[in-house]
Amino acid sequence: MRFIQYLDKVMSVVAASLIAATAVITCLAVFFRSVVGASLPWPEEVSGNLLVWTSFAGAYVATRSNGHIAFDLLVNKFPARFRKLVLTFNDAVLFGLFGVLGWLSYQAISVVGGTSLETIAIPKGAFMAAIPVCGGAMMLALVVRNYERWTGRDEENLS
């Protein structure tokens, strides 16, 4: 399971780097508008599109750490085996959702992914790729989580 640990670190660094990049781009835009007196045309569009990668990379990190919002008061009252079944069913539904989302985003990328943003020559597909890439990573995270759930193993014992 070293691969999943490596992926966890990469996605955490990606999410943090994207947040930092968005902050730098926003500060640069404010500097140019307020100090230089000339607005840059691209910061708003680029930082808005970086939000896609930031959101999906952050969603992966939250999936791996069970950090998503959950209403588990009732589920936690279930007997252990039934709770595992319910949580596994929930993860199976999420797995299907990520699969459909990845497939539909792949189709959208094949149609409009090669076109550039309006203000800078970056293909839209570079931003749209976050959906199938991170969706696939979240599908892998769900498989690992269920493996750990049903075998009773944690990541340290799997390396």
pLDDT band for position 67 (50/70/90)?
A: confident
Long-range contact pairs involving 100-103 (C-beta distance under 8 Å, separation at least 24): 101/131, 101/132, 101/135, 102/131, 102/132, 102/135, 102/136, 102/139, 103/132
Check residue 154 and give its pLDDT: 59
For 123, list phi and psi in degrees, rounded to 5: -65, 140
130-151 and 43-64 helices, crossing angle to 10°: 10
Distance CA 95, CA 159 (A): 24
Q: Amino acid letter at 5?
A: Q
Query: How confident is the model over 82-126, as pLDDT tens digits?
Result: 999 999 999 999 999 999 999 999 999 999 989 999 999 999 999
